[in-house]
Amino acid sequence: MNTEKTMKKLLILFIIVVCTIDGFAQDADPSQTNTVVYIQNSTRLADQADVFSVFDEYERPILNRLVEEGALLGYGQMSHSWGDVFNHNVYYVAENKTAFFEAWSKFFSELDLDNELMQETQRKINKHKDNIYVHTAFYGNGVVSPGTVMINQNRVNFADQGEWVSLFREYAYPILKAMVDEGKMNRFGLLLHEWGDEWNVNYYIHTDNQEQFHESWGEYIARFQTDHPDVLRRIVDLTIDHKDNLLYERIPQQD
């Protein structure tokens, strides 16, 4: 019985990893793109465990199947560590917007959640917002695991966005890629506004934990400042406004 239980846990973990890995290709091509839809929710801390439980029990199995079938490239769920009010955040990776909305329709057609529980869960969501991004300049180590995710959000004048992105691809991307290859972070990527709020040029860094993030962030900025001080200064000058969040990507243990 214990052997059967262990094999079940390993199989589920394998499915989770396979089902989230394709959204973060390892090809070193900073111009490649796909679509990321990011749904953010705020719930009272007293209700957070219940909301997460519903997501894990009813939504994750469907999302895993959608990735297995190729309808989605990946997905993930992140809780709040430091930053704003949003503590139940879910991202979906798809080839494009059309593919996402087709997968979204299929998700709801398969969601087997009784009306009473759905309404009870929805009432625990106090605030909500959606964003659709062009996901580009991304790279990963091929392993999806729990960990700390920093999301760096910026407002850049639309007239300057092309220059900002070009500088990131040419100068920031090689530094970040080298740090992934050195094992100092797990993955990163650029998220460009397509639909949603005012934060139009954003990027994320995924590390094992907060300690590793702070170490890698300090090293990233130091390398950038040493190798390309004028470029770093230009990126800062092009940035009108800025905010950060530290989140935690959850991959729950399975019994």
Percent of the chain with pLDDT over 90: 85
Distance CA 97, CA 77 (A): 19
Q: What is the mean pLDDT of the chain?
A: 91
Q: How far is residue 220 from each of residues 22, 113, 193, 230, 242, measured CA to CA in Å?
A: 25, 44, 24, 15, 18
Q: What is the pLDDT of residue 20?
A: 45
Between 10 and 48, residue with greater pLDDT: 48
Q: What is the pLDDT of residue 26?
A: 54
Q: What is the pLDDT of residue 14?
A: 39
What confidence tier does 39 reach under pLDDT thresholds 50, 70, 90? very high
Q: Give the pLDDT mean for 16-24.
A: 44
CB 15 within 8 A of CB 74: no
Reported as a single tens digit per residue, the pLDDT across 124-183 is 999 999 999 999 999 999 888 999 999 999 999 999 999 999 999 999 999 999 999 999
Q: Which two tokens stand for residue 189?
A: 């990527």
Three-state DSSP state, 8:
helix
The CATH label, of 3.20.130.10, 3.90.79.10, 3.10.300.10, 3.30.70.100, for the domain at 2-25+32-250 is: 3.30.70.100
Q: Give the pLDDT mean for 92-114.
A: 97
Q: What is the pTM of this model?
A: 0.88
Q: Is the pLDDT of residue 255 over 90?
A: no
Q: Give the pLDDT mean for 22-39.
A: 80
Reported as a single tens digit per residue, the pLDDT across 61-102 is 999 999 999 999 999 999 999 999 999 999 999 999 999 999
Question: What does DSSP assign to residue 72?
Answer: -
Q: What are phi and psi of 238, to 5 degrees?
A: -75, -15
Question: What does DSSP assign to residue 84?
Answer: S
Q: Is the pLDDT of residue 24 over 90?
A: no
Reported as a single tens digit per residue, the pLDDT across 190-207 is 999 999 999 999 999 999
Three-state DSSP state, 156:
strand
End-to-end CA distance of the chain: 13
Q: Give the pLDDT mean for 227-251.
A: 98
Q: What are phi and psi of 83, to 5 degrees?
A: 135, -135
Q: Is the dihedral of CA 203, 207, 211, 216 positive or negative?
A: negative
Close Cβ partners of 71 (under 8 Å, ≥ 6 residues apart): 94, 99, 102, 103, 106
- How is the chain split into domains, by residue range? 2-25+32-250
Residue tagged 């949003």 (tokens):
86
